[in-house]
């Protein structure tokens, strides 16, 4: 694929952010006495037309602190296949598209350490926009962790007036990360935004701020909780909660559907699923 200047800038940022996040997570493992490191697997995608359609790199680490964490980057493009394109913003009349982004899900060994999700992306159809966000998913919530996570994202929003709308994006996350058939949220929220149009520089700057906020706050929360003793009963709470997380990602998550409908790498798409979960 031939990328224009904006597409190239976005792709390079997501890849650089991936490298910094993975380094921070590996440093946590090292401090815990673990030699766990990320394994990276590249994948290629074919467009429905048969032409090369981009690809990505799946990074997964299984360690002492991070029971399973995936950090994926992808850059794909071509044409949407069939009716799916009509459901995508700006693609109803023209199925051509481009998408680049980073997606992260961490499932933790200690139930006192919150799981987390973060994803930011840049898409181009007949429109161009940024989307993404981050949300905290603790099996055993701590008010301090929730407050600090939200404070970091609120600061990122407030530093970009006119683009980052924290009250709206926080409510959007609460509405989106909800499991209707259970009647519960999958975590304690964060922010979610989509179809963020307008000047590229403004949307890009805000999206970078979200990534920086995540990189600053989440490792600090992990270090705060990772040595907390836990009981077998608390571990069972974590595994039952993970079942709810899996239900959301398989039934409702739009990113999962987008990846499957556009011929993405199945292992990369489903890296969000927890390593061990239980259902009653």
Q: What is the pLDDT of residues 262-271, one digit of tens each?
A: 888 999 889 8
What is the band of 261 on the pLDDT scale with cuts at 50, 70, 90? confident
What is the band of 87 on the pLDDT scale with cuts at 50, 70, 90? confident
If you average pLDDT over residues 104-128, what whole number do you get? 97
Is the model's pLDDT at 67 over the cut of 90? yes
Print the domain residue range for 229. 5-272
Which of 91-95, 116-120, 198-202 is least confident? 91-95
DSSP 3-state of 22:
helix
Q: Roughly what angle, to the nearest 10 degrees, separates helices 143-158 and 166-176?
A: 130
Long-range CB contacts for residues 215-220, cutoff 8 Å, separation at least 24: 215/17, 215/20, 215/21, 215/24, 216/152, 217/148, 217/149, 217/151, 217/152, 218/106, 218/116, 218/118, 218/149, 219/24, 219/25, 219/28, 220/148
If you average pLDDT over residues 208-216, what whole number do you get? 98
User: Is there a domain that residue 82 lies in?
Assistant: yes
**Terminal CA-CA length for the chain:** 47
pTM attached to this predicted model: 0.94
Enumerate the H helices of 226-264 as residue ranges. Answer: 232-251, 254-261
User: Is there a domain that residue 71 lies in?
Assistant: yes
User: Is there a domain that residue 100 lies in?
Assistant: yes
Is the model's pLDDT at 1 over the cut of 80? no
Kindly report the CATH number assigned to the domain that includes residue 128.
3.40.1500.10
Q: Which of 61, 102, 63 is nearest to 214 (CA)?
A: 102
User: Is there a domain that residue 277 lies in?
Assistant: no
User: Is there a domain that residue 10 lies in?
Assistant: yes
pLDDT of residue 216: 98
Percent of the chain with pLDDT over 90: 86
pLDDT of residue 50: 84
* 181 catalytic residue (yes or no): no
Q: What is the pLDDT of residues 145-159, one digit of tens each?
A: 999 999 999 999 999
Is the model's pLDDT at 238 over the cut of 80? yes
pLDDT of residue 139: 97
Number of domains in the chain: 1
User: Is there a domain that residue 195 lies in?
Assistant: yes
Q: Which of 71, 116, 63, 109 is nearest to 276 (CA)?
A: 109
pLDDT of residue 81: 80
56/50 Cα distance (integer angstroms)? 18
What are 84's two structure tokens?
């799916």
The rounded mean pLDDT for the chain is 95
Q: Which H or E run contains 42?
A: strand 39-46
User: Is there a domain that residue 252 lies in?
Assistant: yes
User: Is there a domain that residue 22 lies in?
Assistant: yes
Choosing from 117, 150, 160, 185, the catalytic residue is: 117
């Amino acid at each position: 694929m031939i990328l224009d200047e904006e597409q190239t800038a976005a792709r390079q940022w997501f890849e650089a952010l991936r490298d910094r996040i993975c380094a921070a997570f590996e440093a946590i493992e090292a401090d815990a006495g673990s030699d766990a490191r990320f394994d990276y697997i590249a994948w290629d995608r074919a467009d429905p037309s048969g032409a090369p359609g981009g690809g990505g790199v799946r990074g997964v680490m299984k360690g002492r602190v991070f029971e399973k964490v995936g950090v994926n980057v992808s850059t794909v493009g071509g044409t949407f296949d069939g009716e799916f394109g009509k459901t995508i913003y700006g693609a109803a009349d023209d199925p051509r598209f481009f998408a680049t982004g980073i997606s992260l899900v961490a499932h933790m060994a200690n139930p006192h350490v919150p799981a987390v999700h973060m994803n930011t992306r840049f898409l181009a159809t007949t429109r161009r926009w940024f989307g993404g966000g981050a949300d905290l998913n603790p099996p055993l919530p701590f008010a301090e962790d929730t407050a600090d996570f939200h404070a970091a994202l609120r600061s990122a929003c407030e530093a970009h007036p006119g683009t980052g709308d924290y009250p709206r994006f926080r409510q959007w996350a609460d509405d989106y990360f909800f499991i209707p058939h259970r009647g519960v949220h999958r975590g304690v929220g964060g922010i979610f935004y989509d179809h963020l149009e307008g000047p590229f520089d403004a949307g890009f700057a805000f999206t970078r701020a979200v990534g920086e906020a995540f990189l600053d706050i989440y490792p600090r929360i992990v270090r705060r909780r990772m040595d907390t003793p836990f009981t077998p009963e608390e571990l069972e709470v974590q595994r039952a909660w993970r079942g709810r997380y899996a239900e959301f990602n398989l039934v409702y998550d739009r990113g999962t559907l987008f990846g499957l409908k556009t011929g993405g790498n199945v292992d990369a798409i489903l890296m969000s699923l927890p390593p061990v979960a239980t259902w009653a």
